[in-house]
């Protein structure tokens, strides 16, 4: 698995060789520095911790500064651990750049969704309004009765209601990379990515499996269909 930490720049569009427009999300990916290395001998597993985005020392606590000084890295705002395939090959102080990915790779992107404040059931869950006529009163967008009587005398878990909307961790799986610019540390990913502009995102190799297609497209390996192609009269007789 490959991974990197990035920051969402915004959305744009790219035209392919056929002139079709591709909506993409541009992400400033890296450069990230390896700030810690986990080994199977000490921690019991192989992983690396990556640091992203420089920050003034005054914005970090003394334990955080001590941790980064031990690695010989500049103060970083974001730290995240990844279980990479080449974790054993990386060392503390190594730099991971955007070119760790290439065009055509499929990735999972994790970010924090936009916050919408305190929202009611209509906006938060798409609930239906109450009737607008016949004395409905000023409660058309309220949740209404919850339906709890003497039995069970409570509201079941999962009941929709008003509350804090957004600011949730969201992962969009199986997005493909359209373009990689190692000079600008930019990665263009097809489609939308959760979070606002400037939001932190984690890019990892997708957990989905992409099986290689076998055989020519549009040709069945079914022997009955193959015999029908050889003898079309036989196929027409069977259809009758």
User: 3-state SS of the chain: helix, strand, coil percent to 5?
Assistant: 15, 35, 50
Q: What is the mean pLDDT of residues 101-125?
A: 92
CA dist 172 and 35 (Å) reads 27
Same domain, 132 and 187: no
Same domain, 8 and 107: yes
Q: What is the mean pLDDT of residues 160-178?
A: 92
Question: pLDDT tier at 116 (50, 70, 90 boundaries)?
Answer: very high
pLDDT of residue 235: 52
How many CA within 13 A on the CB side of residue 163?
Answer: 8
pTM score:
0.75
pLDDT of residue 104: 87
Q: Which of 165, 195, 227 is the last residue of a domain?
A: 165
Same domain, 74 and 159: no
CA dist 25 and 59 (Å) reads 29
pLDDT of residue 238: 56
Residue 234 counted as domain residue: no
In eight-state DSSP terms, residue 155 is P
CA dist 84 and 202 (Å) reads 13
Residue 3: which of 110, 103, 104 has the closest Cα?
110
DSSP symbols for 207-231: SS--PPP-S-TT----HHHHHHHH-
Q: What is the mean pLDDT of residues 170-182?
A: 91
Question: pLDDT tier at 123 (50, 70, 90 boundaries)?
Answer: very high
Higher-pLDDT residue of 161, 91: 161
pLDDT of residue 225: 64
Same domain, 96 and 193: yes
Give the H/E segment covering residue 62.
helix 62-71
Same domain, 7 and 107: yes
Q: Percent of the chain scored above 70 by pLDDT?
A: 88
pLDDT of residue 110: 93
Residue 140: which of 151, 129, 125, 127 has the closest Cα?
129
Instruction: Judge whether residue 39 has pLDDT over 80.
Output: yes
Contact residues for 112 (Cβ-Cβ < 8 A; gap 6+): 167, 168, 169, 170, 194, 195, 199, 200
Same domain, 104 and 132: no
Same domain, 81 and 151: no
Crossing angle between the packed helical segments 223-230 and 232-239, to the nearest 10 degrees: 110
How many CA within 13 A on the CB side of residue 13?
Answer: 6
Q: What is the mean pLDDT of residues 106-120?
A: 93
Instruction: Judge whether residue 166 has pLDDT over 60.
Output: yes
Question: pLDDT tier at 135 (50, 70, 90 boundaries)?
Answer: confident
Mean residue pLDDT of the chain comes to 85
**Residue for token digits 């290689």?**
212
Residue 230 counted as domain residue: no
Contact criterion met (CB below 8 Å) for 201 and 195: yes
Domain count, the chain: 2
pLDDT of residue 107: 92
Same domain, 30 and 110: yes
Q: What is the largest CA-CA distance in the chain?
A: 85
Quick check: helix, strand or coil at residue 197? coil
Contact criterion met (CB below 8 Å) for 102 and 29: no
Same domain, 79 and 130: no
Structural domain boundaries enclosing 20: 3-114+169-205
Residue 177 counted as domain residue: yes
pLDDT of residue 216: 56
Tens of pLDDT along 3-36? 899 999 999 999 988 889 999 999 998 788 888 8
């Amino acid at each position: 698995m490959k991974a990197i930490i990035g920051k969402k720049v915004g959305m744009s569009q790219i035209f392919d060789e056929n002139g079709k427009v591709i909506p993409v999300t541009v992400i400033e990916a890296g450069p990230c520095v390896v700030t810690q290395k986990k080994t199977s001998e000490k921690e019991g597993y192989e992983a690396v911790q990556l640091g992203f985005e420089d920050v003034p020392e005054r914005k970090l606590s003394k334990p955080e500064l001590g941790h980064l000084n031990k690695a010989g890295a500049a103060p970083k705002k974001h730290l995240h651990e990844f279980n990479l395939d080449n974790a054993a090959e990386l060392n503390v102080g190594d730099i991971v750049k955007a070119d760790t990915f290439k065009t055509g790779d499929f990735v999972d992107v994790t970010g924090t969704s936009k916050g919408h404040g305190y929202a009611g059931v209509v906006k938060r869950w798409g609930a239906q309004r109450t009737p607008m006529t016949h004395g409905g009163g000023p409660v058309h967008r309220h949740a209404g009765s919850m339906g709890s009587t003497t039995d069970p005398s409570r509201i079941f878990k999962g009941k929709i209601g008003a509350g804090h909307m957004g600011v949730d961790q969201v992962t969009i799986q199986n997005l493909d990379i359209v373009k990689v610019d190692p000079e600008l540390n930019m990665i263009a990913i097809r489609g939308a990515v959760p979070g606002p502009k400037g939001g932190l995102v984690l890019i990892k190799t997708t957990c989905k499996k992409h099986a290689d297609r076998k055989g020519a497209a549009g040709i069945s390996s079914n022997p009955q269909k193959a015999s029908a192609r050889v003898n079309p009269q036989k196929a027409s007789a069977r259809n009758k």
